[in-house]
Amino acid sequence: MSTTPTERTELISRPKRADARRNYDALIKAGREAFTEADRSASLEDIARRAGVGIGTLYRHFPTRADLIEAVYVEEVEGLARSAENRANESPWNALVDWLHGFVGYIATKQALADELFAVAEHNMEVFANCRAALDTAGEPLLRRAQAAGEVREDVEIREVVRMVAAIAKMPSDEPGEIDRVLDVALDGLRAR
């Protein structure tokens, strides 16, 4: 799956009208903020209030909490995929490493929602499979470019790298910066020797 803008919209349906799109975007932003805070139990009414819309508007876009969680998840996946496209001016190694550090940040925001995301995934496996494929597709050119430059081992694939980084991101840690340090050690193992 390519991550071109026309294909990204296949991950989730969005409103076309400008006013509906503004409300949708405001709800996504409010949902993202609510779902990444320490207390993730924000009600849909609270999210609508944060977005500056009525509860009816929220329900028109997202009939259930699960629908909103799924939409927030997809928007973040698409943002992470787009960030890979924006690294063409960086050196191949730095582009890959910077994107993978962004991936760790993305995973960290999902930790608070792990149980709810798992429940959503059980009901809509296709969206989550498409999101995983979109991330692999976005990271693949970064990895291949670094391999072509002789900076990364030839015997690794993006799927393996993404799994490694996801596992590191889920590591329990109370020490600031520890996960980034562990990631840097692991990424050093990707370097071509």
Burial class (CB in 10 A: 0-12, 13-18, 19+), 122: exposed
| pLDDT in the model for residue 1 | 38
Confidence of residue 8 (pLDDT cuts 50, 70, 90): very low
Is residue 97 located within the same domain as residue 190? Answer: yes
Is residue 77 located within the same domain as residue 31? Answer: no
pLDDT higher than 90, residue 149: yes
| Phi then psi dihedrals of residue 86, to 5 deg | -90, 15
Residue 191 bridge partners (DSSP) = 152
Is residue 98 located within the same domain as residue 176? Answer: yes
Q: For 84-141, what is each residue's pLDDT tens digit?
A: 989 988 999 999 999 999 988 777 666 656 656 666 666 667 877 888 899 999 999 9
**Domain assignment of residue 7, yes or no:** no
Is residue 42 located within the same domain as residue 118? Answer: no
Domain that holds residue 53: 14-63
Q: What is the mean pLDDT of residues 1-8?
A: 39
- Structure pTM? 0.78
List of residues 6+ apart from 123 with CB closer than 8 A: 66
Is residue 22 located within the same domain as residue 87? Answer: no
Burial class (CB in 10 A: 0-12, 13-18, 19+), 39: exposed
**Domain assignment of residue 3, yes or no:** no
Is residue 102 located within the same domain as residue 187? Answer: yes
Is residue 125 located within the same domain as residue 144? Answer: yes
User: What is the distance between the alpha carbons of residues 116 and 97, in angstroms, rounded to a whole number?
Assistant: 29
Q: Give the CATH number of the domain where residue 135 resides.
A: 1.10.357.10
Looking at the 3D structure of the chain, how many domains does it have?
2
**Domain assignment of residue 9, yes or no:** no
**Domain assignment of residue 6, yes or no:** no
Among residues 45, 63, 81, which one ends one of the domains?
63
Q: What is the mean pLDDT of residues 36-65?
A: 87
Confidence of residue 40 (pLDDT cuts 50, 70, 90): low
In whole numbers, what is the pLDDT of the chain averaged over residues?
Answer: 84
**Under a CB-based contact definition with an 8 Å cutoff, are residues 8 and 134 in contact?**
yes
Confidence of residue 171 (pLDDT cuts 50, 70, 90): confident
Q: Give the CATH number of the domain where residue 56 resides.
A: 1.10.10.60
Is residue 42 located within the same domain as residue 82? Answer: no
Is residue 160 located within the same domain as residue 78? Answer: yes
| pLDDT in the model for residue 65 | 86
Q: Which carries the bigger pLDDT value, residue 159 or residue 121? A: 159
